[in-house]
Structure 1
Amino acid sequence: MVTVTTCQNGVRIVSEHIPHVRSISVGVWVNAGSRYETPEENGITHFIEHMLFKGTATRSARQIAEEFDRIGGEINAFTSKENTCYFAKVLDHHGELAISILADMFFNSLFAAEEIERERQVVLEEIYMSEDAPDDDVHEKLWAVIYPNDALGRPILGTAETLATFDGEKIRAYMAKHYGPKNVVISVAGNITDELLATIDQLFGHYEASKQAIEAELTYPEFTPGEIVKTRDTEQAHVAISFPAINVKDPAMYSFVALNNIIGGNMSSRLFQEVREERGLAYSIFSYQSSYADVGAFTIYGSASKQQLSQMQHTIDATLLDLVAEGITETELENAKEQLKGSFVLGLEGTEAHMNRNGVNELVHQNHRSVDEVLAAIDAISMDIINELITKILLAEPAIAIIGPEY
């Protein structure tokens, strides 16, 4: 059972007691992602995520790493377009130590000038690594086409130009705006105790919001169709095609995930079978859904040699046109439901998965469905809803990004 407790300052503690395990996963979730940055701030959310590991008033970066290694624990973080999460997984009797270190990082990071310079170079290398990988870069180019004038279209990592401007003052100013208690959720799952929850409240439940604190505001950007082609000397051409889709709060969300699985989400999907298995046109071909609080997209990715690119694109188009004309089959619908149920339940076998699910549910939905409720919602997916989504999504004009040799 998931329990939500709101501290006196507005921080929410989401806890799920799982007594049969010996681990605890805890995450500090912040409703701050790259979509809430100004153009000049692009990349600072991700840079702050790195900097919180670079030393506090009482712990060096090395000591933070060594403390978790010493107890056999894991600590990490990630930044998305809508939120940031700092998380740890440890044995249950090390839970209070883990949350105390996370709190130390959250409140007492020094942002020393020499560490900022060192980490700036690390993130710059991360940007270069992404740009060197066309199968990654093509998706960044795609989002720039979709939302050319909105933060959703800018890279989470930022750019070399914006990265060069970040310093301790800018970091603290951004955190003052976005790291206020009403934007923070502490999600903890596993063999937790009342003492651990009291420690979390003691550490996070009493700090005050800065006068600059703001609540994240949605921008409701409009999907922009178009095409970008980046010529590079690569063996393959990398293609990403995206259509406007639904937001994460849409009642048809489970149907959207099921439709993605049918089109290109797994090895039995239509695209995988047609493009790879039947015609041998590509090694990598798949689709995925991206759903945010206000907007969404459905994206297909494939890579092929210059000689086979045109045929791969034709096969993708033909597959989508067939879906629009004929819809899906009853067998595909039932298989998609069972796939969703299986992946959902099997994905909850670790405490980290529960922590992640509960953190996202609280940040985005402020609602926590039980496993049985989710399974019932999946069973309720109907052919009519799927076909409505096919028409709504696949008949729209797409955005396209291509990276590869001249063709």
Structure 2
Amino acid sequence: MAQEVYHHTFPNGLTVLAERMTHVRSAALNFLIPAGCANDPPDQLGLASVLSDLITRGAGSRDSRELTLALDNLGLDRDESAGVVHLRFWAATVARNLPAALEIYADILRRPHLPPGELAPVQALALQDLQSLDDEPRQRVLVELRKQYFPDPLGRDRRGTEAGIEAITPESVRRHYERHFQPRGAILSVAGNIEWQPLLDHVAKLFGDWQGQPPAAPALGARGARRLHLKKDTHQTQIALAYPSVPIGHPHYYQALGAVNVLSGGMSARLFTEVREKHGLCYAIWATYQTFKDRAAVIAYAGTTNERAQKTLDLTLAEFERLAKGIEADEVLRLKAGLKSSLIMQEESTSARAGSLASDWYYLGRIRSLDEIQKAIDELSPASILEHVRAYPPGDYTIVTLGPEPLQTPRDS
């Protein structure tokens, strides 16, 4: 079935993307607003997360309770979250309720109450979320890894800091909202059983007169330490590491994904097989790919006992280095099957398609067709992945550990 994908950018800078999926009865909407935690004032880290909660506590003619009831009455499955670059507003419902849902989100995005009386409980929830990291060592070590690897503010965690959350005031929330909630650079993506022209006309009615331009993206600072140990007296050691990769849009992008999946594309992939199964060194190990517009990284994690921690790190690094020695044909067949399965499941999900439309537009300025993606996956081979690995070999590692004692790590290159 041929894809029906549409896009339009209004004079105010708001981009609307849509994919018509006639085989479903639902629809999903996805707003990306360029107001993520990278834009938090340095003395109020956590502001984006606080705003993402407070903004749904009353909007337009509805107070907090009325707004929640209106959303629930439409049967919306929804979420609001803060990322590094964007605040994301996502919702899915039956397709006939999409126009009414968009009307409510127009109030949320353009006419929020941001009630001062609700700020204290929102701050309390944000502090609980931040403090929960103390009980989640895996999350804590990965948060610290990103802070060290990526230059500030790209390495920030959405949770912010205790001092930053406590410094937030009703006035600073309102200023931040007015400064960053602007149409230029914002993206609305919709996928489901929709008609394009009625959708576009409705969005024009709701958002066409929205005016304003967000400030320039913050300047990037220096990256953090390449080696860091977080001392904590536990029976386990958490290991997190990162090394540079190519960003989405790079000619080697799919080969980079292929290399990561050779390492960690399932229980038959190298890290799980070699480090966990054959040597019994760790209870959890994986690697993944994270991208921004102009940079990317392979991020890996292993959790193990203190006695096995050094060997776990050594063998994990050895597996990274072994990539350049050869890729087997059966490994590529398995990773291609996995990537295609993900693609097929995405094709059947309105939420996944809405998210992919917005992601593609933000990173690439265009929408990749499913056929284009499948063709790129089909063209992966041991030789093409090996060419990428040798051109961009693992190295220049950032390594963060959490446990009783630091580990011996390779010298910085």
TM-score normalised by length of structure 2: 0.91
- Structure-to-structure mapping, 1:119-138, within 5 angstroms: 119-138=122-141
Contact 2:265 2:335 in 1 (8 A): no
Which residue is equivalent to 1:265? 265
- Structure-to-structure mapping, 1:244-259, within 5 angstroms: 244-259=244-259
Q: Does 1:372 align with 2:407?
A: no
Measure the CA separation in 2 of the matches of 1:91 and 1:130: 36
How far does residue 13 in structure 1 lie from its aligned partner after superposition? 1.0
Measure the CA separation in 1 of the matches of 2:273 and 2:339: 19
* CA deviation profile, 1:228-260 (whole Å, cap 9, x unmatched): 111213231110011122222212111111111
Which residue is equivalent to 1:101? 104
- Structure-to-structure mapping, 1:163-202, within 5 angstroms: 163-193=165-195, 194-202=197-205
Contact 1:327 1:390 in 2 (8 A): no
How far does residue 67 in structure 1 lie from its aligned partner after superposition? 2.4
- Structure-to-structure mapping, 1:131-170, within 5 angstroms: 131-147=134-150, 150-170=152-172
Q: Does 1:216 align with 2:188?
A: no
How far does residue 171 in structure 1 lie from its aligned partner after superposition? 2.3
Which residue is equivalent to 1:29? 32
Q: Does 1:79 align with 2:82?
A: yes
Measure the CA separation in 1 of the matches of 2:175 and 2:26: 36
Measure the CA separation in 2 of the matches of 1:204 and 1:55: 19
Aligned-partner SS, 2:359: helix
Greater displacement, 107-116 / 59-68? 59-68
Structure 1's consecutive aligned runs of 4 or more residues displaced over 6 angstroms after TM superposition are: none
1:150–1:288: structure 2 CA closer, same or farther, 3 Å change rule?
A: same
Contact 2:47 2:165 in 1 (8 A): yes
* CA deviation profile, 1:112-139 (whole Å, cap 9, x unmatched): 1111111011111111112321110001
* CA deviation profile, 1:293-329 (whole Å, cap 9, x unmatched): 11111111000011211221222122223223x1211
Measure the CA separation in 2 of the matches of 1:64 and 1:75: 13
- Structure-to-structure mapping, 1:3-402, within 5 angstroms: 3-147=6-150, 150-193=152-195, 194-209=197-212, 213-216=214-217, 219=220, 226-324=226-324, 326-402=325-401
What letter matches 1:216 in structure 2? A
Q: How many residues align?
A: 402
1:157–1:55: structure 2 CA closer, same or farther, 3 Å change rule?
A: same
- What value does the CA root-mean-square deviation take over the aligned residues? 2.0
How far does residue 157 in structure 1 lie from its aligned partner after superposition? 1.5
Aligned-partner SS, 1:250: coil
How far does residue 223 in structure 1 lie from its aligned partner after superposition? 5.6
What letter matches 1:86 in structure 2? F
Measure the CA separation in 2 of the matches of 1:214 and 1:318: 44
Measure the CA separation in 2 of the matches of 1:218 and 1:337: 38
Contact 1:243 1:393 in 2 (8 A): no
Contact 1:38 1:151 in 2 (8 A): no
Contact 1:176 1:209 in 2 (8 A): no
Contact 1:230 1:404 in 2 (8 A): yes
Q: Percent same amino acid at aligned positions?
A: 25
Aligned-partner SS, 2:175: helix
Contact 2:152 2:222 in 1 (8 A): no
Q: Can you give the 5+ residue segments of structure 1 that lack an aligned partner in the other structure?
A: none
Which residue is equivalent to 1:403? 402
Contact 2:141 2:239 in 1 (8 A): yes
How far does residue 222 in structure 1 lie from its aligned partner after superposition? 6.4
How far does residue 42 in structure 1 lie from its aligned partner after superposition? 2.6
How far does residue 168 in structure 1 lie from its aligned partner after superposition? 2.9
How far does residue 374 in structure 1 lie from its aligned partner after superposition? 1.0
TM-score normalised by length of structure 1: 0.92
Q: Can you give the 5+ residue segments of structure 2 that lack an aligned partner in the other structure?
A: 407-413
Greater displacement, 101-110 / 170-179? 170-179
Aligned-partner SS, 2:282: coil
How far does residue 215 in structure 1 lie from its aligned partner after superposition? 4.0
1:186–1:378: structure 2 CA closer, same or farther, 3 Å change rule?
A: same
Greater displacement, 371-380 / 393-402? 393-402
Measure the CA separation in 1 of the matches of 2:177 and 2:251: 33
Aligned-partner SS, 1:16: strand
What letter matches 1:89 in structure 2? A
* CA deviation profile, 1:382-404 (whole Å, cap 9, x unmatched): 44442243235544221111112
What letter matches 1:67 in structure 2? A
